[in-house]
Structure 1
């Protein structure tokens, strides 16, 4: 299991720490956990939903995100995971394209389990259809972890790294996990 400390885009904001961990499970599944430390209880949490519904615009509230890129290719997937236990997957042909809102839904990644925990969030995803359709091996892919955190001190943007002048989770340079 590989773990990463996610950094706030606003470097002055040190009140919440966030760690993401990625574990390959079997031939086509991954497990991702997010551990959040909020000693001052600044987080604002959405209400829990039953049945893990797919919903758009989850990033407008507290939302954990996984980006899946493919070496040498422009296309990628964005997975949004809410602590409400709602989720969604979007497909992009290249950087933020197509530009429609909400983005185009992808149906080639399935949810095995999504659960809000006392420490943050845990998700298990089935990538078999995505990987088989594009003839991918684990070594062909790389991942980025990020989060939008709504706090009593405003919205904070966390990622593995921030190399753009603005918080930009779609910047592939910041997707650091290699299989």
Structure 2
């Protein structure tokens, strides 16, 4: 994979459990996006949801969850994707910053999680109906077994953790080649 970036822990949510999260990804013809979240640390201290049958679910961000925000370059509308190590997922569209939230139709992403004592790797492949250049914000919520949560993003705005903030969409993904093969209801 290419396009490697490190996520930064929000300064108000420090943790000794996770020592770093690296995100890498690729964008292929037809709108296919593959993202890898590579978490390093004491993985046994992380609250990992049990593996389930893949499916759509709300509220995934309330425990360990990996997120991706995308926005067409030059637009204010954006999309939020939530990927749980359990293989549950969610996809939402927003008309503007935290306004006009609605579920969007996508093909179910493939989510694979592999964990060892010192690393957790979550690979996600999904089809985005958006083919133009995108601004991307990769994020993670890590809940520890004692209930402490740390919030990780490419960059954080001032104040409390806020993955929706426009400054969090800090990486530009080039346009895709070829037509999208998923429903473009977004």
* TM-score, normalised relative to structure 1: 0.85
Task: State the number of aligned residues.
Answer: 165
In structure 2, stretches of 5+ residues that fail to align are: 174-186
Q: Does 1:32 align with 2:35?
A: yes
Residue 182 of structure 2 corresponds to which residue in structure 1? none
- CA deviation string 1:130-172 (max 9, x = no partner): 32xxxx42xx311110011101350110101112311000012
Supply the RMSD in Å over aligned alpha carbons. 1.7
User: Partners in 1 of 2:112 and 2:158 — Cα distance?
Assistant: 31
Q: Are 1:113 and 2:110 counterparts?
A: yes
Q: TM-score, normalised by structure 2?
A: 0.82
Match of 2:152 in 1: 158
Q: Deviations over 1:5-53 (max 9, x none)?
A: 1111036434311111121122311100000112363211111102x11
C-alpha deviation, 1:114, in angstroms: 1.2
C-alpha distance in 2 between matches for 1:104 and 1:40: 33
What is the aligned partner in structure 2 of residue 42 from structure 1? 45
Contact 2:60 2:82 (8 Å CA) reproduced: yes
Runs (4+) of structure 1 exceeding 6 A deviation are: none
Write out aligned runs for 1:1-179 (5 A): 1-10=2-11, 12-16=14-18, 17-39=20-42, 41-50=44-53, 52-98=54-100, 103-107=101-105, 109-118=106-115, 119-127=120-128, 130-131=129-130, 136-137=131-132, 140-152=133-145, 154-179=148-173
